[in-house]
Amino acid sequence: MIKSQNFIKAWNNKKLVAGVLKTIGVQRQYHNYEDLLNEGIILYAECLEALDTVQLAEKDKDKIAFTKIKWRIIDQLRKHKKYNEQQNIADHPQINFIIPQHDNFLLLEDEIKSMSPTERLIFIQHWINNKTISEISKQYNISRSTLHRNKAALRLRLREKLQD
């Protein structure tokens, strides 16, 4: 169990975790940025907890935590990439597979009409307005896993329709 003082210290020093994300090239526009940031803050608090008994300067503790957070996030990104490759899903939050041709726009217009409310929400809020899944989840009180599942299915369906 993490002591609240370590969690508060980690939360107040979330710049360290943001620095880790920046170092490994994760930009704020990345659709899972907030999740990685929160995961890093929790990991940072765990590191502080583990290093409480060790006599080190705060700067050295931060260096150790920085490295541990960096490798854990890199590992998570690799797993995510591998999962997406297995699912044959592109790892881009935008609909970069839409070719600007008139037929595609007409097809897309028909598809939007047939989307469920959740799919339409993902399409407009996530892909068009660039909101994160976490933001949409909080705003509309829909679970993140439901949104991710709908997003993956919608992406596949649109890709298939546009490639026909």
Structure tokens, 97: 């597979």
Of the candidates 30, 150, 7, which has an alpha carbon nearest to the alpha carbon of residue 92?
30
User: What is the Cα 123 distance to its own chain's centre?
Assistant: 16
> Which pLDDT score, from 0 to 100, does residue 8 have?
79
CATH 1.10.10 in the chain: give the residue spans: 102-163
> What is the predicted pLDDT for the residue at 129?
83
Mean per-residue pLDDT for 64-73? 89
pTM score = 0.49
Please report the pLDDT score of residue 91 as a whole number: 44
Question: How would you label 45-65 residue by residue, b for 16+ Cβ within 10 Å and e otherwise?
Answer: bbbbbebeeeeeeeeebbeeb
- Other CB atoms within 10 A of residue 44 CB: 26
pLDDT of residue 146: 92
CATH topology of domain 102-163: Arc Repressor Mutant, subunit A (1.10.10)
What is the Cα–Cα distance from 119 to 127, expressed in whole angstroms? 11
The answer for residues whose C-beta is within 8 angstroms of residue 24's C-beta and 6 or more apart is 70, 73, 74, 77
Highest-scoring range by mean pLDDT, 22-26, 104-108, 158-162: 22-26
Instruction: Supply angle C-alpha 145, 77, 43, rounded to 5.
Output: 85
pLDDT digits (tens, 9 = 90+) for 88-119: 444 444 444 444 444 556 667 778 888 888 98
